A and B are shown apart, each in its own frame.
Chain A
Amino acid sequence: MHLALFLIFGALCVAGALNLLLQRHPINSALSLIVVMSSLAVLYLLLGAEFLAAAQVIVYSGAIMVLFTFVIMLLNAGREERTRGSKMAYVIGFPGAAVLLALLADIFITHSGEFHRVHAGEYVVSTAALSGVLFRDLLLPFEVTSILILIAILGAVALARKEH
C-alpha cells in the first residue's frame, strides 16, 4: 500500500518537474509546480510528517503558488521563446551538474551504512511532538530564522517603496 502510493506520487512528482521545464507557457509551468509541491506533501505524509505535509499544501501549493499564478495572470505573460541557451551553460553547467551528481552518489553509496533507514508508514510524528522540538529544544535557531525572515520582509518593503 505504502509502496504503491510512493511509486504513484513519486512518479507524479518527477513528471510534474519535467513538465515544468518543458512547458512553454508560464502558467502551465506554474501549475506543474503545484503538482510537484502537492505530491511532495503526500511523500511527507508517507514518512509520517503529517504537520509538514499539511503545511506544505497550505503554504506552498496554496499561498505561494497562488501568488505565482497571480503575477503571471497580472503581467499577462506570453509564451516563452526558445533560445539555443548560453554557451556558459554548455561549458560549465552540464559538467558541473554531472560532477555534483557523481559527488552526491559517491557520498550516499560510501556512507549508506550510517544513514538511519525509515520505512514508509512506520510511524507518525504528532504535531505536539514536532512543536516540542521546534519551540523548546530548537528555540534559538527557530527565533533566529524568524528574524532572518523579518529582515527579508523589511528589505522587500524598502525595495518596493516608491522614491520620495
Chain B
Amino acid sequence: METGLFTFLIVNLIKIVVVVVILLMAVAYTVLLERKLVGRIQNRWGPSRVGPFGLLQPLADGAKLFLKEDLMPFAVERPLYVLAPMIALGCALTSIAVIPFGANIQWHGVDLFQISDVSIGLLILLGITSVGVYGIALSGWSSNNKYSLLGALRASAQVISYELALGLALVGVVMRAGSLRLRDIVNVQTGHSLVAFLHWNFFGGFQFVAFFIYLMAAYAETNRAPFDLPEAESELTAGYHTEYSSMKFAMFFMAEYANMITVGCVATLLFFGGWTSPFGHFLSGSGPVSTAILSVFWFVAKVFFFLFLYIWVRGTLPRFRYDQLMGFGWTFLVPVAIANIVVTGLWMGLSLPAH
C-alpha cells in the first residue's frame, strides 16, 4: 500500500482522465437517447440520418457547436458571463469523483472503480450541487437580459427550496447505514440470497418514501421537466442561457446532462444497491475479472434505468406553475421528508436491540 506521491498522482490523473472522458461520452449519448426516446413518445423517429440509427448524431452536434460563432453581447458583465458556464460544468463534472461505480477491486493498492473514497462522500456530493447553482444564477444576472434574469431567479429559488427536501430525504438512508461513505451505504444493502434486491433501501430499508422525495427533489435540482421553469421556453425564450451561444451554451447543456447522470448514480447507490447484483450471488461474478465486469454492468444498467425514467417523465408530464412548484416543495415534500426521518428513527430504535 506504500506508494510514492508521484505514482499516486500519475495513477489518479489517469483515472480522472478516463472517467471524465467516459462521462462526457455518456453525456453526449444521453442527449441522443433523449432525442430518440422523446421522438418515439411523440410518435416520430428522432435523429436517424447521421450514421446507423443516428448513432453518430452526438459527434455531428459536437462538431456543429464547436464551429458556431461565439457571440459576446455588448452589455454583458464580461468576467462573470464567461465564468458562469465554467462553474456549471465544473461542478457537474466534479461530483463524479466520489461516486463508486463498481465493486471495490484493488489493483496494486489502487481502487479501480472510484476516483476517491471519501468518508463524507454524500456530503461532498450535496456541497458540489449546492455550489453548482451559481453557474445558473450568475449566467442569468451577467447576461443583462430580462428573460435570463427571471430564469436565474427562478432557478436559485427552486434549487434552495428543493435542496432542503433532498437533504432531509437522504437522512433516513444515512441513519440506516450509519455512515456517509457511499461504499458503506451500498454494503448495508447487499444480500446473498436470490432475492437480494429485498435488501435494497428501496424495499428492505423501507425507504421508498425517501426515494420518491429524493427523485422529485432531484428533478427540480437539475431543472428538468416537469420542474424546468428556469428555461421555460414558452415564457422565457430559453431562460438563463438565452444570451449564450456556441461552446458556452454547450457547456450548460453538458452540465445539465452530467447532473442527470449524477442523480441517477446517487439514486442507484442510495436506494438500489449500487453495483451489487439484484439476485445475490447469481450474476455477480466469481473471479476478480468477472466481478469487475458484472458489477460495472449492474451499475450502468441501474443508472440507465434512471436516465430512461428522466426522459419518460419529460415526455409525459406538463410543466408546473410557479406557485404550485413552491407549494409542492415546501408544504408537501419537506413535511413528508421529516415524517420519514421520525418514522425511520422510531423503527430503528424499536427493532434494534439496546446497547
Contact = CB atoms under 8 A, between A and B. Distances in A.
Nearest to A54: B123
A54 B141 contact: no
The dominant DSSP class at the B interface is helix
B86 interface: no
B124 interface: yes
Nearest to A73: B141
A50 B160 CA distance: 23
A63 B149 CA distance: 19
B159 A66 contact: yes
B178 A128 contact: yes
Interface string A58-86: 10011100110110011000000000000
Interface string B137-159: 11011000000010011001101
Contact of A70 (B124, B129, B153, B163): B153
A55 B123 contact: yes
A67 to B, nearest CB: 7
Given A63-B163, A73-B141, A73-B149, A57 B131 contact: yes
B14 interface: no
A126 interface: yes
A127 B130 contact: no
A27 interface: yes
A43 interface: no
B160 A73 contact: no
A135 B130 CA distance: 26
Contact of B119 (A27, A34, A63, A127): A127
A58 B130 contact: yes
A51 interface: yes
A155 B177 CA distance: 37
A149 to B, nearest CB: 15
Given A70-B157, A74-B153, 14 more contacts: A31-B80, A54-B124, A54-B126, A54-B127, A57-B130, A61-B130, A61-B131, A62-B130, A62-B133, A66-B137, A69-B138, A73-B140, A73-B141, A73-B153
